[in-house]
Amino acid sequence: MTKKFFVTTPIYYVNDVPHIGHACTTIAADILARSHRQRGEEVFFLTGTDEHGAKIAQAAEKEGLSPLEFCDKIAPQFEENWKKLDISYDYFIRTTNPEHEKVVQALILKIKENGYIYDATYKGWYCVGCEAFKTPDELVDGKCVEHPNKDLEWYEEKNWFLNLRKVIADNPTVFEKLAYSFPENKRNEMLGKIKIMENDVSISRANVKWGIPIPWDTEQTVYVWFDALINYYSATRFVDGKAEFWPADVHLVGKGINWFHSVIWQGMLLAAGIDIPKKVFAHSHYNTAGQKMSKSLGNVIAPFELVNKFGVDATRYMIAKSFPENDDSDITWEKLTETYNADLANNLGNLVSRLAALAEGLEIDKKEIKISIEYLEKIDNFALPSACEWVFKNYIDPINQKLNEVKPWKLEANDPVRITFLKESIGNLLIATHHLKPIMPNAAKDIIEHFERKIEKKQTPVFARI
Ligand code: MSP
């Protein structure tokens, strides 16, 4: 039976058009999805938009639109952006989809039936930017760390609560280890946070009209995060033939929403009696000059600007090469251009055009190429900068080096030494290219098409220097 693989990105808030922070998560998930397809697995790659809640309602009001009109305007912009970046998602979920709404209501009812929901009054500071209550220890100078230029709102209202502390007590083997949560340093942060956790999770809102009604209390709507997290599961219920993809193999998220994905989501699922996902991976953030890149801070780089300047494959490569898998990474146009010129224009692109010119007329046999296990482990662990380096260190650099040593251009065209050397170098270039295929699908396809047969005189796929 074909192995199944289900990978998700966070569903993005529609109050913002995508910037390269969003793009890095989506590209990394796409690389993983493509790599698993390359391994012959049946993949379900899910992304989408998070459309309910106070933040979206406020953004819609600012534009003089109803919340749904506003979402209908922005959600397609995400799809367009993802298409420009060659994101091969299988389904794009929107939380305003009535099929999703039904699953949310059924799940919340199930949790209530299982005795994990109670009502109480909530008092506390709320950050609309995060759509989350903030405890005093999470604030710096009375402000949210992620949204320092936004004022917090004081909430005091009756809410429905998920008894997270009881779920945790009832499932000690899950919450004592969080064995599915990666990387380890971020898992430890979550474990520490569980230890000092004092509150359960409020899962409804009395004053937010833009949301899914609580089935037994229509005065209240479902808290936007509770609604949003369920997208991962709901899609497997209503997208045809996808039920057997649950539980998800990987939820890829940014570190800012790790708590929701590594703790609250598991609490919700266990309370409903549903299997939990196999892995949550929380990456770090892109910064510009030390600050998190975000629309509210006004320091964003838009993915389409990169595509316009460098092309889609180079954009994907540069994002993979700078992917903040573990630590925050500072990103600037200068650094991106440097990577482009060093790795793609001067190195890979130059090698491709030199080999193409030297090997014109040669016939290259198509060979079965095995992707290295060591490389696949890097992809599976989102060690994308190191995966990129691995290809250059093991293939591109040695081929270039040998080319300069052997100097085939000094040998006669029919010299067997020259022919054997070129065939071997092109064979290695093709191995490198098959490894790079999930990262640069089009460039890889062009290179493979150029070399995996009789090499003709024609324009080779190169990355021009910028
Ligand atoms: N809607 C919620 C997620 C719900 S998932 C059930 C949300 N949306 S968001 O639009 O704010 O997107 C957050 C995600 O975008 C982060 O988890 C991360 O994947 C990505 N990034 C946003 N800014 C980023 C950076 N500056 N750097 C890297 N990734 C960042 O939260």
Tens-digit pLDDT profile for residues 149-158 = 888 988 888 9
**Is residue 23 a contact partner of residue 82, using CB atoms and an 8 Å limit?**
no
Reply yes or no on whether 292 is catalytic.
yes
Query: Tell me, what's the pLDDT at 51?
Result: 98
> How, if at all, do strands 4-13 and 250-254 pair?
parallel
Percent of the chain clearing pLDDT 70 (strictly above) = 100
CB atoms within 10 A of CB 236: 21
Tell me the two tokens of residue 344: 């793609």
CA distance 249 to 252: 10
Residue 354 scores a pLDDT above 90: yes
Mutate to test the pocket of ligand 1, among 7, 11, 16, 22 (most ligand atoms within 8 A of CB): 22
Catalytic pick among 36, 147, 378, 437: 147
Cα 159 to ligand 1 centroid, rounded to whole Å: 26
Report the atom number in ligand 1 closest to the C-alpha of 13: 10
Which pLDDT tens digit goes with each residue over 245-270? 999 999 999 999 999 999 999 999 99
**pTM over cut 0.75:** yes
Closest alpha carbon to 451 in 379, 354, 307, 374: 354
Evaluate: CB of 24 within 6 angstroms of ligand 1. Answer: yes
Residue 76 scores a pLDDT above 80: yes
Residue 408 scores a pLDDT above 80: yes
Helix (H), strand (E) counts: the chain: 20, 18
Which three-class secondary structure state does DSSP give residue 292?
A: strand
Evaluate: CB of 47 within 6 angstroms of ligand 1. Answer: no
Catalytic pick among 4, 193, 295, 335: 295
Evaluate: CB of 382 within 6 angstroms of ligand 1. Answer: no
| Mean pLDDT score, 94-106 | 98
Q: Cα–Cα distances in Å, from 3 out to 102, 246, 316, 434?
A: 29, 13, 27, 21
Cβ-proximal residues to 26 (8 Å cutoff; 6+ apart), any chain: 9, 18, 47, 82, 85, 87
- pLDDT band of residue 123 (cuts 50, 70, 90) is confident
Which H or E element spans position 11?
A: strand 4-13
Evaluate: CB of 74 within 6 angstroms of ligand 1. Answer: no
Strand partners, 252: 281
CA distance 91 to 351: 38
Residue 351 scores a pLDDT above 80: yes
Residue 281 scores a pLDDT above 90: yes
CA distance 55 to 11: 14
CA distance 27 to 5: 17
Q: Whose CA is nearest to atom 10 of ligand 1?
A: 12
| Mean pLDDT score, 66-93 | 97
- pLDDT band of residue 461 (cuts 50, 70, 90) is low
Residue 33 scores a pLDDT above 70: yes
Provide the residue ranges of all domains of the chain, joining segments of one domain with +.
4-283, 332-451
CA distance 86 to 441: 8
Report the atom number in ligand 1 closest to the C-alpha of 284: 28
Closest alpha carbon to 391 in 356, 354, 353, 443: 443
Reply yes or no on whether 388 is catalytic.
no
Closest alpha carbon to 316 in 439, 442, 447: 439
Report the atom number in ligand 1 closest to the C-alpha of 50: 1
Superfamily per CATH, domain 4-283: HUPs (3.40.50.620)
Tell me the two tokens of residue 354: 């030199």
Reply yes or no on whether 321 is catalytic.
no
| Mean pLDDT score, 384-411 | 97
**If you classify domain 332-451 with CATH, what class do you get?**
mainly alpha
- pLDDT band of residue 391 (cuts 50, 70, 90) is very high
